[in-house]
Amino acid sequence: FNVSFFQVKSEGPKLVPFFKATCVYFVLWLPTSSPSWFSALIKCLPIFCLWVFLLAHGINFLVSHRSASRILAGLIFSAVGDAFLIWQEQGYFIHGLLMFAITHILYSSAFGMKPLDLKAGLLMGLVCSSCYAFLYSYLSGPFTYLVAVYIALIGFMGWRAVAGMQLCNDLWTWTKLSACIGAMLFMVSDLTIALNEFCFPVPYSRFIIMATYYAAQMLIALSAVESRDEEDFRKRS
């Protein structure tokens, strides 16, 4: 509990720029019908703030903690993907899909393969298979297999985040819970995109997609700083 309290207290102020940038995005609410570099900047700004959030912990920390550096790399690819999706109507949807696929690979690598937790993997596999089975009849052309690969990648990322939490063994930490919730929110965001893009118009889709997406990225970024916070807490105790 003390470590968790210290994490919240020490990391919260560093996220203020992220919250401000997110508010700017929702306040301006630039129309998607007229994509521009300005709208791309506004959309990517919260993710840029998460770059700064991780870089504020020091280059040495990022170099010595591979999970943190991989999450930073994932955030970089996410920003590129966000920019591509600004121009998705101009044919850049697949480019954005590719960038986020790389992001999920990096996040999966950051979360690691221990503990394995095959039960969580089986459950995630069933959820992802059900989602793809629903989407399948709406897909055509290259999206038939591209969406399948993407769902597999984000499902794998979600599995590694859930497995790392170790809730049943009472070994979970605040930041592992953060990674787990973040991964689930990312899946909700992407599922909403898929439904809205391929199946039917989802009411308030843009708000749902972006609110869950920004929250997911923030929580995953927070999960990267656990090692440093625990070390600092022990030094101060």
Identify the CA nearest to 230 among candidates 87, 81, 61.
Answer: 61
Domain holding 227, by residue range, is 1-235
Q: What would the pLDDT profile of 62-114 be if each residue is shown by its tens digit?
A: 999 999 999 999 999 999 999 999 999 899 999 999 999 999 999 999 999 99
pLDDT for residue 150: 98
DSSP 8-class letter at 202: P
64 within 8 A of 36, measured Cβ to Cβ: no
**Residue ranges of the chain with pLDDT lower than 70?**
1-9, 167-171, 226-237
Region of 30 on the Ramachandran plot (φ > 0 left; ψ -120 to 50 alpha; else beta): beta
| Count of structural domains within the chain | 1
Residues 6+ apart with CB under 8 A from 71: 54, 106, 107, 110, 220, 221, 223, 224
Taking the model in full, what pTM does it have? Answer: 0.92
The predicted structure's pLDDT at residue 236: 46
Q: What is the pLDDT of residue 204?
A: 97
Determine the pLDDT at residue 175. Answer: 84
Per-residue pLDDT, 169: 63
Question: How much is the pLDDT for 171?
Answer: 64
DSSP string covering 106-146: HHHHHH-S-S--HHHHHHHHHHHHHHHHHHHTT--TTHHHH
The amino acid present at 116, given as its one-letter code, is L
